Amino acid sequence: MACLSGWREKRLNDLLKLQDFEAARDRIRSRVRETPMFDPRPHGADLDGGAGAHVLLKLECLQASGSFKARGAMNKVLTLSGEALAAGLITASGGNHGMAIAWAAGNAGVPATVYLPESTPVAKADALRALGAGVIIEGLVWDDANAAALKVAKSSGATYVHPFANPAIIAGQGTLGLEIMDQAADADTIIVAIGGGGLMAGVATAVKAVNPAVKLIGVEPTGAPTLYESLKAKELVTLDDITTSVGSLAPRRSMPLNYELISSSVDRLCLVSDDEMRAAAQLLWRDFGIATELAGAASVAALMTGRHIPQPDERVVAIVCGAGKDGF
């Protein structure tokens, strides 16, 4: 089964409100980029399977630090006290969150240490070091690296920043949803890759607050269906095994905050394989010169494989969420 729907709990969600996302947008406006919306139609690309839909690509791969993560990281840093910043930042990441924290910490003039799992591409570890962050490799997957980061933060007094389950992080990521609604106010559907769920929780909650009629579709790897299995079970599930090579979409377990927001606001989840993401990344590079990591191509993979088949005249926004050339 490649898609899951019918589980959405349609309740009013008071965990994060529209004003939280608007405040985050105002806070980070001068620090992050407004990324472009790209229309592939003039280039002859068929991303809708011939359905006659209008597909737009939100190029968040052009964001500062290389991904949407800059939004949440900067929002978090700007809400921390001087004392918390002086203690230094520590986090665990599959790569992109670490890059964003290193970038935001550099802007604030404070040190940052990033714990990475062994699955992280060497290029990302090198890029973190180039930004001045301390890098420590720990464990096979993000959960292992995160446990190590939490232990050190507790003993050292450094300020720990969770990559996807912190309200300030989620509010920052949700500014992407507000930006999409500004650029494509008539969007019918938004497709979002899901790792731990910070981006999806933020975008879905913000967008639904602006226009509840917009459909939100999440995409996970077949080798790490963390939220897919949790929503199917109607409770948080810890996966026994991770088989995807896409480390930024590969936590064994999400968190209660993300689960609550996603179960309230997301309409459907789909699964795509690593090979399908690779094919989508290759198409983006070959046809448009858009260099994205596999996670960044997940939303396009959902369209290419028919996991989401748009209706005629449906206006779809697929978020290309991270830069790289993992597919080559």
Which helix (H) or strand (E) covers residue 73, if one does? helix 69-79
Residue 9 three-state SS? coil
Residue 26 three-state SS? helix
pLDDT of residue 328: 56
pLDDT of residue 12: 45
User: From start to end of the chain, where are the E strands?
Assistant: 3-5, 37-38, 54-59, 89-92, 112-116, 134-137, 159-160, 189-193, 215-221, 268-272, 315-320
Task: State how far the Cα of 112 lies from the Cα of 182, in Å rounded to an integer.
Answer: 33
Q: Do domains 3-66+167-320 and 69-160 have the same CATH topology?
A: yes
* Beta-carbon count within 10 A of 215 CB: 18
Residues of the chain with pLDDT under 70: 1, 9-14, 44-46, 49, 326-328
Task: State how far the Cα of 18 lies from the Cα of 216, in Å rounded to an integer.
Answer: 17
Task: State how far the Cα of 328 lies from the Cα of 313, in Å rounded to an integer.
Answer: 33
pLDDT of residue 48: 72
On whether the pTM is more than 0.85, the answer is yes
CATH class given for the domain over 69-160: alpha beta
pLDDT of residue 131: 92
307-326 exposure pattern, b = at least 16 Cβ within 10 A, e = fewer? bbebeeebbbbbbbbbbbeb
* Closest to 117 (Cα-Cα) out of 227, 294, 251: 251
pLDDT of residue 123: 86
- Give the C-alpha distances (Å, rounded to integers) separating 205 from 69, 111, 187, 256, 258: 17, 32, 15, 15, 10
Task: State how far the Cα of 96 lies from the Cα of 322, in Å rounded to an integer.
Answer: 8
Per DSSP bridges, beta strands 89-92 and 112-116 are parallel
Eight-state DSSP code of residue 69: H
Q: Where are the domains of the chain?
A: 3-66+167-320, 69-160
Residue 213 three-state SS? coil
Pick the CATH number of 3-66+167-320 from 3.40.50.2020, 3.40.190.10, 3.40.50.1100, 3.40.50.10860: 3.40.50.1100
Answer yes or no: are the C-beta atoms of 145 and 171 closer than 8 Å.
no
The per-residue DSSP string of 86-131 comes to: HT-EEEE-SSHHHHHHHHHHHHHT--EEEEE-TTS-HHHHHHHHHT
